[in-house]
Amino acid sequence: MNLLYKSTRNASLSVTASEAILKGLAEDGGLFVPEFIPQLDISMEELKEKSYQEIAYIVMKQFFTDFTEEELKDCIKSAYDEKFDTEEIAPLVKIGDTYHLELFHGATIAFKDMALSILPHLLTTSAKKNHVTKEIVILTATSGDTGKAAMAGFQDVPGTKIIVFYPKGGVSPVQERQMVTQKGNNTAVVALHGNFDHAQSGVKALFEDRQLQEKLAQSGYQFSSANSINIGRLIPQVVYYVYAYAKLLKHQQITAGEKINVTVPTGNFGNILAAYYAKEMGVPIKKLLCASNENKVLYDFFETGTYDKNREFILTSSPSMDILVSSNLERLIYAISGQDAQMTAKCMDQLKQKGVYEITPEMRERLSDFIGGYATEYETAKMICDTYRATGYVMDPHTAVAAYVCKSYQEKRDDLAKELVVSTASPYKFLKSVMTAIDEKYQTMDEFDLIEELHKKSGTPVPMAVSEIKNAKIRHRRECDVKDMEKTVLDILGIEV
């Protein structure tokens, strides 16, 4: 059966999976969602013996129904290969009494690699299927990790260009260095004078600008997205939740059908939405713990039913979560409203006009699977330090936020379910924050001099992604104001303003 995709803001609009991947964003500004969440057609007992690549095919074939078996398997084979430094792609590690799903073993040492290593292949395959002749321009906003992972994935991919906007001063030194040293004749990086929300809303505005679309088309270009607004990025993230449960079963940490809790550090909501989709597919997940840093707009939403972005934007040690407008939450709003596109559009319009919206009591009842939690900067640093002292395991600040929320939940609730913490980035990506949390003496050391110190502390090898950028050539120095984003894009593409 062919699974079609609808816009969250227009029930009458439907497209195929490949069309949704190509477009990235619906023409009405909505996000593409499947008409229904398909069920897994294979038992966990069978899945537990499968490789990551095999599970990826089993999950993705259910969603991307207009891809042939050969096309989808080729995409998966090209994505999950020696770019990852572990054979299992997403290792499970037991730390104390919780299980950490390490999603940072790809080329850019962050969880974004899990989806962005396959998106270029899904996108170019989709372009061929739909007879696209224009060059595809990937336009992306990043809070630190998406940008590098997207550029690494799309570097020199024929028929594509990629332009990344990141908030100047709003990412870690390693994240910034990774981006500005990116190779590839089709890559461009722009430091934006603003925060991530400015970058994200600016990119969405460019997508929704019909005059700009026409100008691009006349020059032989069309936009697509590598952000998690693209369904081709969200669905591959569902895979690792199915995989994690299967592996817990294989290693006899759980019994078949036993429900687990999953804690996800998230700002843009895509990563935890993928866990929700996995639960809807049939993975026995009990509670979804949504872990925020001090930008706790999601925590407040789950506590009150009101989403309010009108607050101070705080720069934290977990910059990939420094977000006040969680774009993927729109897909959940659509789901809990009973797929009411009109209601969803109304909420998103209120968010755009007033910065706040409130869901109905009925919608709130459908959020019972979710629990919000957050960690302060002090609690995050303490979690890194306490875990290191107790176990020798070193985690990055985003993972520490999740670990703290998980621990707090365990202490407060009478819930004996096994706990899975999603570990989203390597500690090598946030050297100063991690090392200072372990010992304040590292505060005065240069960020890149801490590489060897972390290596000694953790006993883990220095990732290639870090060692290769230390002395890499700076290739991208472009900066711009928010009001100049369109002009900057046209300039990069060589189109007259």
Q: Which residues are catalytic?
A: 112
Nearest to 396 by CA among 238, 172, 196: 172
The identity of residue 331, as a single letter, is: R
Q: 3-state SS of the chain?
A: CCCCEEECCEEEEEECHHHHHHHCCCCCCCCEEECCCCCCCCCHHHHCCCCHHHHHHHHHHHHCCCCCHHHHHHHHHHHCCCCCCCCCCCCEEEECCEEEEECCCCCCCECCHHHHCCHHHHHHHHHHHCCCCCEEEEEEECCCCHHHHHHHHHCCCCCEEEEEEEECCCCCHHHHHHHHCCCCCCEEEEEEECCHHHHHHHHHHHHHCHHHHHHHHHCCEEEECCCCCCHHHHHHHHHHHHHHHHHHHHCCCCCCCCCEEEEEECCCCHHHHHHHHHHHHCCCEEEEEEEECCCCHHHHHHHHCEEECCCCCCCCCCHHHCCCCCCCHHHHHHHHCCCCHHHHHHHHHHHHHHCEEECCHHHHHCCCCEEEEECCHHHHHHHHHHHHHHHCCCCCHHHHHHHHHHHHHHHHCCCCCEEEEEECECHHHHHHHHHHHHCHHHHHCCHHHHHHHHHHHHCCCCCHHHHCCCCCCCCCCEEEEHHHHHHHHHHHHCCCC
Question: Can you read off the two tokens belonging to residue 225?
Answer: 């997205």
The identity of residue 74, as a single letter, is: D
Q: At what angle do helices 119-129 and 146-154 cross, to 10 degrees?
A: 50
